[in-house]
Amino acid sequence: MSLAIEHAGTAADFPTLAREGLVYLDSAATAQTAEPVIEAMDAYYRTYRASIHRGVYPIAAEATEAYEGARARAAAFAGSSAGETIFTRNATEAINLVAYSWGRANVGAGDLVVLTHMEHHSNLVPWQILCQEKGAELAYVGIDEGGRLRLDELDALLARRPKLLAVAHVSNVLGTINPIADVVARAHAAGTVVMVDGTQAAPHLPLDVSALDADFYAWTAHKAYGPTGIGVLHGRRALLEAMPPFLGGGHMIASVDEFASRYADPPARFEAGTSPIAEAIGLGAACDYLDGIGMDAVRVHSQEIVGYAVERLGAVDGLTLHGPAALAERAAVCSFSLEGIHPHDTAEILARDGVCVRAGHHCAQVLMKRMGLHATTRASFAVHSTREDVDRLVEGLATVQRIFG
């Protein structure tokens, strides 16, 4: 059986998937690029390539319109506004922007910064660096046996009125969907600013950053069927306006004198240098692609595929599936361990059959240590994933067990 949802994406939308025998189950690392994204970027390079914002000639105006149009589309896709949407190089840079700009202006010696044990290194290391530099304290919210955030631990830490809480919307290892609206409400009641890492959520869940009330929300285009080289930071306007620049250079200024400059308003203040123009146009097309399917349909399809994967993987002898049991709490990720077999061996044997999965610590070493593991094997799904893909994965695991068993 193929897709349950008539209008979900299909493999035909993704040129790479035309490769013979390829079963791509690594979209949490990077998703395949949708054809309309490639076409939109190609059209820019072939027909109206020019720099933006300054040129007065027609192709420059066209490029500017396309770039700013992409910002408006990314904002609408996420339930934010264009004035609160900043383009960065990736999600990592978006989080670093907040850590360097907001963090250095607002976090001082003795302040508390709270992270969770399920953070990707991108939403962990920038805060470590900040706390080390400022003499601030770092503390972690743990996770329970089912891979869910310990809200009791969160509340205990919030009682100390931390300056910042940095939390993933969806874990890239466990697939856990955190109750972000609730978490943000608890944090705000304590006067705590919240940085949400939405990298694994934006491509898979209907997203409304305003409804979540997140102060900062980061995601990345290359996991949402868009190009590499561009990420998005949504920030509350009042916070952005009060923040100093992150990088200095062209475009981020209002005027420059010999010894001082006046800075542009956000979002330009945080977009120094020539922008990722083609990438933004590609991101806009990716948002259109996902909106065309409809994020409710994307979520329904992902639940069906993940439900099938959980069922099939659950029947494999010696396999431990990590993360929440309830489908409502899991996004498009299944991480697992096979008894007695190293995840890298598993991934390598699967690769021989064309099944692409990721093995390793998934840039979440703190979580791995908490789970008592060095690595897991991770299959992650996309709008083009089918039950047949899951079947090929499970058949491949039988081969792995034959070889290593």
Ligand X SMILES: Cc1ncc(COP(=O)(O)O)c(C=O)c1O
Would you count residue 91 as binding ligand X (CB under 6 A)? yes
For the chain, the C-alpha Rg in angstroms (whole number) is 22
What minimum distance in Å lies between the beta carbon of 241 and ligand X? Answer: 25
Structural element, H or E, at residue 139: strand 137-141
d(CA 240, CA 266): 6
User: What x/- string results for residues 323 through 362 when contact with ligand X is judged by CB under 6 A?
Assistant: ----------------------------------------
**Which residue, 96 or 346, is less far from ligand X as judged by CB?**
96
Are 179 and 61 a contacting pair, CB within 8 Å? no
Q: Cα–Cα distance between 404 and 382 in angstroms, integer?
A: 29
Binding mask 208-237 for ligand X (x = CB under 6 A): ------------x-x--------x------
Q: In this complex, which beta carbon is closest to ligand X, that of residue 85 or of residue 90?
A: 90
Please report how close the Cβ of residue 91 comes to ligand X at its closest, in angstroms: 4
- Confirm or reject binding of residue 199 to ligand X (CB under 6 A): yes
- Give the range of 134-142, 196-204, 273-281, 390-398 binding ligand X by CB under 6 A: 196-204
Helix (H), strand (E), coil (C) string for 350-376: HHHCCEECEEECCCCHHHHHHHCCCCE
Residue among 97, 143, 168, 207 that touches ligand X (CB under 6 A): 168
Residue 363 annotated as catalytic: yes
CB of 364 vs ligand X, minimal distance in Å:
8
Measured CA to CA, the distance from residue 81 to residue 93 in angstroms comes to: 20
Q: How many residues in the shown chain lie near ligand X by CB under 6 A?
A: 15
CA–CA dist 405, 387 (Å, integer): 26
Does 71 engage in binding with ligand X (CB under 6 A)? no
Is 92 near ligand X (CB under 6 A)?
Answer: yes
Q: What distance lies between CA 361 and its chain's CA centroid? A: 17
What is the tally of helices (H) and strands (E) in the chain? Answer: 14, 15
Compute the distance between CA of residue 80 and CA of residue 237 in angstroms, rounded to an integer.
Answer: 10
96 is an interface residue for ligand X by CB under 6 A? no
Which positions are catalytic? Answer: 363
Q: Which residues bind to ligand X, rule: CB under 6 A?
A: 90-92, 120, 122-123, 168, 172, 197, 199-200, 220, 222, 231, 363
